[in-house]
A = this chain, B = another copy of it.
C-alpha cells in the first residue's frame, strides 16, 4: 500500500486510532463528491453529422459521392476504376478490388451499401462484395435477404469466422449501413499474436457482432492463421463481380 504520512501516525492519539479502526469496519467515512471528479485529459469536441450517419467533424471521409480519390486499385496501385453513378460507387466487374490510400487500424468505420435490384444468382453468387478491415479481415457484404447461404457467410458475418447475431438486412435496392468498431491485432517479437483483433458491428440499428475475437485473416479456403503485420493497413472493397453499390464511407481513428 501507499505509505501513511508519517506525521499522521505520530500525532494521532491512541483514542483516535482506536476510533479509526472501528470506523474501518463500518461504512466508509464521508468524502466530498469532488474527490472523484477529473478535468484532464479533455475529450476532443466533435460535431456530429447533420444526419446520424453523416461523417462527424473529425472523420476521414473516404467516399462522399464525388470522387474516388481516396482509393486505388488493390492490384497495382493504379487509379481506382470503379464507376460513380448518382453519387454512388458501383462495383465494376473485372476492375478488381480497390483499397484506400490511407492505412487504418484501431478505428470506427462507417459504410453504406445496397444490393443490386436485379437479382442474379443465389447464395454467395448474389450481390456479393466485402469490406476488408486492414485489407484482410472481412465484414461480409452480400445480398442474403431472403436468400439462403451458410450462416458464417451472411451479410454482417465476419466471413467464415462469426455468423451475425441476427439477419437484419434490408431488401435489394435499399441502403444498409454498418457501424464498425475495430481493434487491430498486436504481435510479439516472435511474430505470435498477443492481442487478437476484435470487432463490433451494428447493421441498420441492430448489433450483429458483439466484440468478437477474430481468428486471423479471412480465408475462403482453409482456416485463418495470424501473421504479424503493421498496426495500420488500407481497407479494401471487393470486386466479386456483382454491381453492389456503396456510399458514405468514413473512418474515425480511436
Contacts and interface: CB of A to CB of B under 8 A. Distances in A.
A33 B123 contact: no
Given A211-B211, A213-B213, A124 B163 contact: no
Given A24-B39, A151-B43, A1 B34 contact: no
B1 A138 contact: yes
Given A28-B222, A52-B52, A38 B166 contact: no
A1 B43 contact: no
B39 A151 contact: yes
A83 interface: no
Interface in A121-140: 123-124, 128, 130, 138, 140
Taken together, the copies of this chain in the complex come to: 4
A88 interface: no
Interface residues of A, number: 97
A44 B130 contact: no
A142 B3 CA distance: 13
B4 A160 contact: no
A150 to B, nearest CB: 4
Contacts of A151: 38-43
Interface string A27-56: 011111111111111111111110011101
Given A221-B33, A222-B31, A43 B179 contact: no
B252 A2 contact: no
Given A1-B218, A108-B206, 7 more contacts: A24-B123, A28-B36, A41-B163, A43-B166, A52-B204, A56-B206, A108-B207
Interface of A: 1-4, 20-21, 23-25, 28-49, 52-54, 56, 58, 106, 108, 110, 123-124, 128, 130, 138, 140, 142, 150-154, 159-160, 163-168, 170, 177, 179, 181, 188, 190-192, 194-196, 198, 200, 202-208, 210-213, 215, 218-223, 225, 228, 238, 240-241, 252, 254
9 contacts: A1-B128, A1-B218, A2-B159, A3-B240, A20-B34, A31-B31, A36-B160, A41-B192, A195-B195
